[in-house]
Amino acid sequence: MEQQEITTPGPVLDQKGAIAPGYSRRAVRTYRRAEIRAPFYRIKEWDFYQASDGEKCIQFTYGHASYAGQVGVMLFDFQKGERIADISRLLALPFGRLHLPESAEEDSDVRYEKNGMLLRFKTQGDTRYLSFVTQDFEAELTLMRKNPNSIVVNVPFAESPTAFYYNQKINCMSACGYAKYKDKTYYFGEDAFGLLDWGRGVWPFHNEWYWSNGTGLLGDKLFGFNLGMGFGDTRAATENCLFYAGGFSKLGRVHFLLDKNDYMRPWLLRDEEGRLDLTLKPSYDRTTRTKALWVNNCCHQMFGRFYGTAVWEDGTVLHIDGLPAFAEHAVNNW
């Protein structure tokens, strides 16, 4: 498929609130919440961070679907299949009061501090400082970007000319720090890597997507991938790509083949051009369900190890043998 790469600066949305479809490697276009022309109760914004190694994972969530928001942290051991801590607070009717940044790459300082809970995301250049503190739990992590490329997608939806998905995912970040729950401390060190999923948009009420992301070492070189389907009209660009040794390689459409009656069975991820052949062997199903007001969401995020091959755009075959990562299937009414 032919994809449209965006290289010239400008606004994400035009004067009518419509998005120009395509992808970029950094945040080339400028997002302004005030330029959205859809009803305020359809706007969705989130910052989601994840850091994981070969055994455990910590996730930080701060965002809203306008009429329902969430601030929280989750810590789990996907090797043992153990959820260690799951601390979350629902925010009723936030309507944009979270003051999330309008860029994933500019310096920013996001804070939530209320009723004994503190969450902070601080960005300075290529370094991000994450912290979360509440009763019985505290975490401090530092993520450092190791690849200048990311994947940014500008995606429309067929349902409405003012519906859109503007998303940036940053892979290949080193992660170091700790999380302490009750009397035990969990450390993240040299084998831990971080991810940012930064989303802004106006979505249809019902949506179903598939997403997979991972970072790890192939020999002595840092490798990562981002794969997805179901995120609106992707005829102009997918979010599928590879990261390797500081570089970036674009992929076309990718299909997720899985057994929805048994998510623990292997998942097959294949592209249409013969460049991707991955198998996920799951070890842990991090299932989340959210029901609040009009929100009714369910997501199976499957952690395990990936095996197979990915072909770089110059024909180099990259062999993936047991890379710890995840793939998910989500059905949302929000």
**Residue pLDDT, tens place only, 249-280:** 999 999 999 999 999 999 999 999 999 999 99
Cα(231)–Cα(237) distance, rounded to whole angstroms?
11
| Phi, psi angle pair for 316, to nearest 5° | -65, 130
| Mean pLDDT computed over 50-73 | 93
Query: Does residue 112 surpass a pLDDT of 70?
Result: yes
pLDDT for res 294? 65
pLDDT of residue 40: 87
Per-residue model confidence (pLDDT) at position 206: 85
Report the C-alpha gap between 162 and 176 in whole angstroms. Answer: 40
Q: Is the dihedral of CA 278, 74, 299, 207 positive or negative?
A: negative
Confidence of residue 334 (pLDDT cuts 50, 70, 90): confident
Average pLDDT over residues 218-230: 97
pLDDT number for residue 293: 62
325 pLDDT exceeds 90? Answer: yes
Ordered domains of the chain (ranges, CATH): 10-333 (2.40.370.10)
Q: Is the pLDDT of residue 164 over 90?
A: yes
Buried b (16+ CB within 10 A) or exposed e, 257-283: ebeeeebeeebebbbeeebbbbbbebe
Q: Which of 70-79, 201-210, 219-228, 246-255 has the lowest mean pLDDT?
A: 201-210
Average pLDDT over residues 120-145: 98
In the predicted structure, residue 292 carries a pLDDT above the cut 70:
no
- pLDDT over 70, % of the chain: 99
Nearest to 94 by CA among 57, 61, 65: 65
Q: What is the mean pLDDT of residues 192-201?
A: 98
CA dist 231 and 226 (Å) reads 13
Averaged pLDDT of the chain: 95
130 strand-pairing partners: 121, 141
Residue 5 has pLDDT above 80, yes or no: yes
Q: Which residues pair with 56 in a beta bridge?
A: 77
**Range of weakest confidence among 18-27, 52-61, 66-75, 316-325:** 66-75
- State mean pLDDT over 96-122: 96
pLDDT at 109: 98
